[in-house]
Homo-oligomer: A and B are copies of this chain.
Amino acid sequence: METISCNIPVDVKVKVPSLVGLDKKQESTIVNVNGVEIGGSEVVIIAGPCAVESKEQIFETARSVVNDGAKILRGGAYKPRSSPYSFQGMEEEGLKLLREISQETGLPIVTEVMDTRQVGLVAEYADLVQVGSRNMQNFPLLKEVGMCGKPVMLKRGMMATIEEFLNAAEYILHHGNDQVILCERGLRTFETSTRNTLDLSAVPMLKNLTHLPVVVDPSHGTGHRWMVGPMAKAAVAVGADGIMMEVHYKPEIALCDGHQSLTPDLFNELMIDLRKVAGAVGRTIS
């Protein structure tokens, strides 16, 4: 039976489901992604391209970001694209490339799964299985990743309330998987100068309602390369447990999201700044 957490701040009107709430479990959950812990004192940096596009692209990008301190490599093999005519991803070939460069660099891999029929396959290759924002309320998929045996990163739907977000996570825990990371990646609002409106207040809100770690994605949240830096710093300052950023070795030739991908040089500079902000709020970035 669902029970409602009572430990929430008195002025917040959110019904928190029982497994993700703080009634039954007060201590923070630390999710272990093949040796990398998310939810502790270190702010974990996740970096990589939007999509795996070629061996050269993913290998060069991975080698670059690992040098600068990234702890997990991102890269999509199955891509949710608004148009059927856009690049849809390299599929299993992309997963294999991710595995290969993971072995070389030691970086665990996070990649998206979109289809219940592919959860087994993706979970074989990935260290962290991502459910994208468009699938946040794809309930059969949530159930399936709840049984997949790998940690899950659940991205907030761009139209999802905090309560719906927590209920989506509850589906995963309810199906047996308590290794869940929440990821804020921007809301859809009336504002059009940015791709989305990154809701950084979701971080302290979630940290007060759930024991699960919270990551922020300023790349999708803003849609502008030059905005990723300031918003990443703000995300560290506000208390995020991790930052996920798109980095591409040559953004100008990227098949998707090039305009919001950092170059390796920009990523290198940003990491220096992020370490300073982390230090100022009592966190570390290694």
Where the two chains meet, the residues of A that have a C-beta atom closer than 8 Å to any C-beta of B are 1-2, 9, 11-14, 17, 80-85, 88, 114-118, 134-135, 137-140, 157-159, 161-164, 167-168, 170-171, 174-175, 187-194, 197-201, 203-205, 208, 221-227, 230-231, 233-239, 259, 273, 276-277, 279-281
Contacts and interface: CB of A to CB of B under 8 A. Distances in A.
A13 B189 contact: no
Contacts of A191: 161-162, 187, 199
Given A1-B85, A83-B2, A203-B230, A193 B224 contact: no
A215 to B, nearest CB: 15
Contacts of A239: 230
A204 B188 contact: no
24 contacts: A2-B85, A11-B259, A12-B224, A17-B85, A80-B137, A82-B167, A83-B167, A84-B175, A114-B139, A118-B140, A162-B193, A187-B190, A190-B190, A200-B200, A201-B230, A203-B230, A204-B227, A205-B227, A230-B237, A234-B234, A234-B235, A234-B237, A237-B277, A277-B281
A200 B80 contact: no
Nearest to A83: B167
Given A164-B82, A230-B238, A280-B280, A194 B201 contact: yes
A117 to B, nearest CB: 6
Contacts of A134: 137-138
A280 to B, nearest CB: 4
Given A13-B193, A116-B116, A238-B234, A84 B171 contact: yes
A217 B187 CA distance: 20
A210 B233 CA distance: 21
Contacts of A171: 84
B224 A84 contact: no
B174 A190 contact: no
